[in-house]
Structure 1
């Protein structure tokens, strides 16, 4: 037995409350079970009850055993002075206030049905991967879809946090924020943090000024990422080094030591050199990129917006001074999908909120048009009958697994609550 089950039972009134008695035999009527705020202090705030025809207003504290009150040292915490009812599964000891009056106690196990308890125990029996793996596919479509939408926007709000942090750092320059977030996602999991630090180390005003010459952008990105060889062999490499030195001197900003980027285990098209060359070309071709992405919601328009390649040198190279067969090296649709999921949609969402606009439906339409992600979590859900048709569904499942299943928050989960109903 865990407290989260008792919280669920109390919050949703999953017990017989028609003829309640406290542990001392006083009649108890619940007018308002209180607000479940999950803050420090009592579990439920601003409850109202009637004890022996006397109305009380205050807070409710819930424990598995009444003696947990002393185990948690609530008698020393002023936050618990206004507790009007102690709700427990097992009443194993009387609990007293500071003035030595006994706190009324309700022993819930006398009033919870066998069916509710069995459903809880069945839900909390660990399977091979998640608790509800054998039952999750039985949830009706309406309940499942409603929960998925909430999960999706919970995940979107988490993605908004680094955007808001960057907004403060850049003094509300949305173009600069977009540049940093794109750089991070161009680096993928391996080089994301290194690319982000690189992007933050270059004042975006410099990117704006140098965007008319793609070689200058390449020099800035490669130079700040410590990718330009010290012993250059080809003319391009020598030129890039000169351009980088010139840009540093011209704009008077300091070259910082950046986390080393990694080539290991990457396919050549994902080499950091190629991704940075693509980023440079994107900002060369698409001036005022932020204003463009804010107004786009159709995936074909996104594919067109990111329809750029790399400069001539990088069409015949994957690394400096090492020539390879010519390849255009444009963005793949799957890579653009990742940019939309992890950068574009979160920024659109955050910007709309800052403007007081509601674009939830537009965002859902966009995400429903993006291909589903492919990873171990999504594949595992599919084996239990939950197959994803688009990125809206995959993003919600990732939020479900990371924030509910992995943290055993079954009784805060829409699926877990539905399964408890039996």
Structure 2
């Protein structure tokens, strides 16, 4: 048994509340269980309880055993001085405040029916992948859809934190923040952090000035990526190298090389040379990218914005000095979908929040237009009968798996709570 099960029992009064007594025999009447706090300090704040003939207002602390009070060193913490009731599964020792007054104890184990305990044990039985995999398909559709919406916005909250960090680093320049986020996206999992360091090593004011010449942007990106260091016979390579060192001199920039970009295990279309050229062309062709992206409300318009390719040289090259069959290297729809999920929608969410605007419905409508993601987690949910029709649903499932299932937070999850209610 885990402590969060006791939190559930207390919060929803899933025990016999008519014949409650403290371990010392005083009658207990619960007027208000208090507010559930998932922060430091007592578990339930501002509860109202009658013990004997005395009405108390204060906090409630919950443990599996009374002795856990001392295990967690609450006797040294002033935050626990106002605890009016110690709720435990098993009482094994008396607990005292700093003034030596004893804290009343309610032992729950004799007040919870066997069905409730059996249902909890069934839900939390050893799992193969997630605890509720055999029952999840039975959840009421209304409950499931509402929970998915909550999960989607929880995930957006998490994704917005790095955005606010970037805002501080860029003096609240949303255009620069967007550029950093896109660079990380263009680098994918392998080169994402490296691409971010590359663009952060170049003042964004310089990139703005040089965006009218795409070759200058490529020179800066490839140069700080260390891809212009060798000696090549290729004329385009020589031109970019000349431009790179000229720009360093022009702006009195120190050369800031980051760790080497990775080609290994990438399909040629994802080579860093190709992605950096596409990124340069995006900023060359879209001079006010942030205003366009922050206002867009359809996938069709996003595809239009990202209808870009590489510079001409890369149409028949993947690396310098190595010619390949000619191919127009445009961004694929699946790649733009990833950018929409990981950059555009989180950025719109964070920007609207900073402006005090409510755009939740717009974001749900937009994410529902994006095709569902394909990965092992989504495939596994599909095998349990949970099919995804859009990225709204896949993003919600990823949040569910990573933040609830993996952390055994069934009693914080609407699905787990619904299953307990159905069988209680």
Q: TM-score, normalised by structure 2?
A: 0.98
Report the CA distance between 1:257 and its aligned residue: 2.4
- Any idea what SS the aligned residue of 2:109 has? helix
Contact 1:229–1:237 at 8 Å: present in 2 too?
no
Contact 1:90–1:108 at 8 Å: present in 2 too?
yes
Give distance in 1, aligned partners of 2:285 and 2:41.
56
Q: How many residues align?
A: 422
Give distance in 2, aligned partners of 1:308 and 1:74.
60
Indicate yes or no: 2:261 matched with 1:261: yes
Give distance in 1, aligned partners of 2:22 and 2:155.
42
Report the CA distance between 1:110 and its aligned residue: 1.6
Give distance in 1, aligned partners of 2:356 and 2:73.
45
Give distance in 2, aligned partners of 1:199 and 1:15.
58
Q: Which residue of 2 aligns with 1:282?
A: 282
Give distance in 2, aligned partners of 1:153 and 1:9.
27
Contact 1:48–1:55 at 8 Å: present in 2 too?
yes
Give distance in 1, aligned partners of 2:147 and 2:229.
52
Q: TM-score, normalised by structure 1?
A: 0.98
List gaps (5 residues or longer) in structure 1. none
Report the CA distance between 1:53 and its aligned residue: 2.4
Give distance in 1, aligned partners of 2:408 and 2:139.
18
- 1:287-338 deviation per Cα after TM superposition (whole angstroms, max 9, x unaligned): 1100011111111111111011111101010011111111000010000000
Contact 1:137–1:386 at 8 Å: present in 2 too?
yes
Q: Which residue of 1 aligns with 2:358?
A: 358
Contact 2:369–2:390 at 8 Å: present in 1 too?
yes
Query: Which stretch of structure 1 is more off in the superposition, 324-333 or 229-238?
Result: 229-238
Give distance in 1, aligned partners of 2:295 and 2:99.
64
Contact 2:223–2:229 at 8 Å: present in 1 too?
no
Q: Which runs of 4+ in 1 moved over 6 A?
A: none
Give distance in 2, aligned partners of 1:110 and 1:291.
62
Report the CA distance between 1:70 and its aligned residue: 2.2
Contact 1:229–1:320 at 8 Å: present in 2 too?
no
- Any idea what SS the aligned residue of 1:20 has? coil
Give distance in 1, aligned partners of 2:161 and 2:68.
37
Q: Which residue of 2 aligns with 1:381?
A: 381
Contact 1:180–1:200 at 8 Å: present in 2 too?
yes
Q: Which residue of 2 aligns with 1:189?
A: 189
Indicate yes or no: 2:321 matched with 1:321: yes
Contact 1:57–1:84 at 8 Å: present in 2 too?
yes
Indicate yes or no: 2:95 matched with 1:123: no
Q: Which residue of 2 aligns with 1:102?
A: 102
Q: Which residue of 1 aligns with 2:201?
A: 201
Q: Which residue of 2 aligns with 1:58?
A: 58
Q: How does 1:15-54 map to 2 (within 5 A)?
A: 15-54=15-54
Q: How does 1:207-222 map to 2 (within 5 A)?
A: 207-222=207-222
Q: Which residue of 2 aligns with 1:136?
A: 136
Give distance in 1, aligned partners of 2:222 and 2:247.
12
Q: Which residue of 1 aligns with 2:341?
A: 341
- Any idea what SS the aligned residue of 1:109 has? coil
- Any idea what SS the aligned residue of 2:112 has? coil
Q: Which residue of 1 aligns with 2:4?
A: 4
Q: Which residue of 2 aligns with 1:91?
A: 91
Report the CA distance between 1:213 and its aligned residue: 0.8
- 1:360-413 deviation per Cα after TM superposition (whole angstroms, max 9, x unaligned): 100000100100000111111111111111001101111111111111111111
Report the CA distance between 1:229 and its aligned residue: 4.1
Contact 2:404–2:410 at 8 Å: present in 1 too?
yes
Q: Which residue of 1 aligns with 2:148?
A: 148
- Any idea what SS the aligned residue of 1:259 has? coil
Give distance in 2, aligned partners of 1:253 and 1:415.
55
Give distance in 1, aligned partners of 2:312 and 2:96.
80
Give distance in 2, aligned partners of 1:272 and 1:308.
16
Report the CA distance between 1:251 and its aligned residue: 1.6
Contact 2:167–2:177 at 8 Å: present in 1 too?
yes
Q: Which residue of 2 aligns with 1:414?
A: 414
Q: Which residue of 2 aligns with 1:312?
A: 312
Contact 1:228–1:320 at 8 Å: present in 2 too?
no
Contact 2:44–2:61 at 8 Å: present in 1 too?
yes
Contact 1:21–1:28 at 8 Å: present in 2 too?
yes
Report the CA distance between 1:347 and its aligned residue: 0.5
List gaps (5 residues or longer) in structure 2. none
Q: Which residue of 2 aligns with 1:176?
A: 176
- Any idea what SS the aligned residue of 2:64 has? strand
Report the CA distance between 1:76 and its aligned residue: 2.5
Contact 1:61–1:85 at 8 Å: present in 2 too?
yes
- Any idea what SS the aligned residue of 2:25 has? coil
